[in-house]
């Protein structure tokens, strides 16, 4: 029964956060009732949203780490080659 309460609490929090974010970042002409139903759906699918955020952060961390590890080689002239198209 505890898992159900955790799921419902996370559903409510996710719905509130997505509603506030959509009102601030979204289209102001769209009715709030339409946005609310989409936010309730997002709240119901909060585990998938959580997985998406984790995946996005891991991709961002990977791309940042990749840029830190690559040091430009001053003798590498491949980037200076220009091919003209006729």
8 pLDDT above the threshold of 80: yes
What string of DSSP letters covers 3-36?
Answer: HHHHHHHHHHHHHHHHHHHHHHHS-TTS-HHHHH
Domain ranges (residues) in the chain: 2-71
16 pLDDT above the threshold of 70: yes
80 — pLDDT class (breaks 50, 70, 90): low
86 pLDDT above the threshold of 70: no
Q: 23-70, pLDDT tens digit by residue?
A: 888 887 888 888 889 999 989 998 998 899 899 999 888 887 776 666
In the chain, count H helices and then E strands.
Answer: 3, 0
- Predicted pLDDT at 29: 83
Helix (H, G, I), strand (E, B) or coil at 71: coil
């Amino acid at each position: 029964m505890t898992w159900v309460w955790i799921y419902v609490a996370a559903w409510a929090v996710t719905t509130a956060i997505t509603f506030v974010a959509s009102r601030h970042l979204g289209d102001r002409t769209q009715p709030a009732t339409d946005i609310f139903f989409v936010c309730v759906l997002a709240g119901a699918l909060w585990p998938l949203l959580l997985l998406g955020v984790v995946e996005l952060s891991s991709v961002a961390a990977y791309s940042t780490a990749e840029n830190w590890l690559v040091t430009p080689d001053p003798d590498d002239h491949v980037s200076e080659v220009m091919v003209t198209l006729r």
